[in-house]
Amino acid sequence: MPVRVIDYSDTDSLDNVATMEEAAICVEEDDVNSYLTPFLYKYFDDNLEVNKKRLDYCWEDEEGRKQYEYTKGFEWYLTYNYYTFEAIENILVDIRDTVDALLTGRKNEYTEDLKIKTVHNQSYTEYFNAERDMYTVEEWKTYEKELQETIDEHSKGYLEELNLIIDFFMNALLIEWNI
């Protein structure tokens, strides 16, 4: 959502940031992880002043001086990640190019990463949902072998996932919110 920083001393504090919640979009966390992270990481700017001032922790040392620890890098949870208007425009250009690449079978810097993430997310959801303590060591090894075969099978069936990825970008981001 668009924000305006009121106080640059701590850009992570809710009191220091004015938000335009009516312009916010909500995207499921798994969809962000599966589809948007390559764009968000690429255009995140650690050197942007507001990103440098995301206060994580404050304490006093033995001599009574305040010490500050700031959040570094793109952060998934409970803090803001700031982007310039230009960075958002570049993300949208890359998303549009990626949709075109997916529709035409062309590769760009994101298409392979999207494929890997999609296959990985499907297969490891199955892996983590398995109750390991219900298996003997030998049964677990057999299960892991079968899981690898599942991963390989998902990779072959990746084309079926293309429609889901394209639909996410086209409907959820580019069309529905007119971005």
Sequence-separated (6 or more) residues with CB below 8 Å from residue 27: 36, 172
Q: Which DSSP category does 152 fall into?
A: H
**Where does residue 53 rank: exposed (0-12), middle (13-18), buried (19+ CB within 10 A)?**
buried
CA atoms of 4 and 15, how far apart (whole Å): 11
CA atoms of 178 and 25, how far apart (whole Å): 11
CA atoms of 50 and 46, how far apart (whole Å): 9
Task: Please state the pTM of the whole predicted model.
Answer: 0.68
Sequence-separated (6 or more) residues with CB below 8 Å from residue 45: 51, 82, 83, 84, 87
Q: What is the pLDDT along the chain (179 residues), one digit of tens a residue?
A: 677 788 778 778 778 888 777 766 777 777 777 788 889 899 999 999 988 888 888 899 999 999 988 888 888 776 788 899 899 889 989 998 988 888 888 889 988 777 766 655 544 444 444 555 566 667 767 776 776 676 666 555 555 667 777 877 877 666 545 55
- Which residue shows structure tokens 């035409």? 104
